[in-house]
Amino acid sequence: MAERKKTMIKFTDDYLCGIFLIDEQHKILCSIVNRLFEHSQDIEEYYKEILLDLENYTRYHFASEEAFWGENSPLDVEEHVKQHNGFISIVESSMENQEFDKKRFDEFIEFLVQWLEIHIKVEDKKMLRSKSHLVTSDNDER
Ligand SMILES: [Fe+2]
């Protein structure tokens, strides 16, 4: 029987920051998290593989973001980096559990969905507002 009470991430326009590279990476990040929902039936078999993909892609994405936010930003990039590092260590430690606990894992997925939503919609956009002069309507800065 399908047990699908939690909802996948719908990457609606309110997730968009207006920087093409960052937005595309956020889409990929969300699609990796959504794979956890797609595999709700056989999650025990796939969760390690998906979380490893999530960890690797998150590291890659955070590095892009930190380089981007870090350039001449008037805001506290250190604080933002701390949030990134905290997220990475939570994802990392989730893979260390020897025994799979469905209920705890469901809570963990819920955490991922909420963290990403708030981080992208609030924290990343806050960083972006300090760089609003870089956002162009056609993504062409030449
Ligand atoms: Fe970020």
Q: Is the pLDDT of residue 33 over 90?
A: yes
Q: How far is the CA of 12 from the centre of ligand 1 (A)?
A: 18
Contact indicator for 94, 108 with CB cutoff of 8 Å: yes
Q: How far is the CA of 65 from the centre of ligand 1 (A)?
A: 6
Q: How far is the CA of 120 from the centre of ligand 1 (A)?
A: 6
Cα 35 from Cα 138, distance rounded (Å): 31
Q: How far is the CA of 127 from the centre of ligand 1 (A)?
A: 8
How confident is residue 1, by pLDDT bands cut at 50, 70 and 90?
very low
Cα 135 from Cα 113, distance rounded (Å): 26
**Helical ranges in the chain per DSSP H:** 20-38, 43-70, 77-94, 102-118, 125-129
Domains of the chain, by residue range, sit at: 18-131
Specify burial of residue 112 (Cβ count, 10 A radius: 0-12, 13-18, 19+).
Answer: buried
Q: How far is the CA of 94 from the centre of ligand 1 (A)?
A: 20
How confident is residue 131, by pLDDT bands cut at 50, 70 and 90?
confident
Per-residue pLDDT, 121: 96
What is the percent of the chain where pLDDT is above 90? 65
DSSP annotation of 73: -
Q: How far is the CA of 40 from the centre of ligand 1 (A)?
A: 27
Structure tokens at 109: 């997925």
CATH number of 18-131: 1.20.120.50
Per-residue pLDDT, 9: 96
How confident is residue 22, by pLDDT bands cut at 50, 70 and 90?
very high
Q: How far is the CA of 11 from the centre of ligand 1 (A)?
A: 16
Cα torsion through 92, 8, 31, 107, rounded to 10:
0
Q: How far is the CA of 54 from the centre of ligand 1 (A)?
A: 15
Query: pTM to 2 decimals?
Result: 0.86
Q: How far is the CA of 139 from the centre of ligand 1 (A)?
A: 20
pLDDT tens for 85-118 read 999 999 999 888 778 898 999 999 999 999 999 9
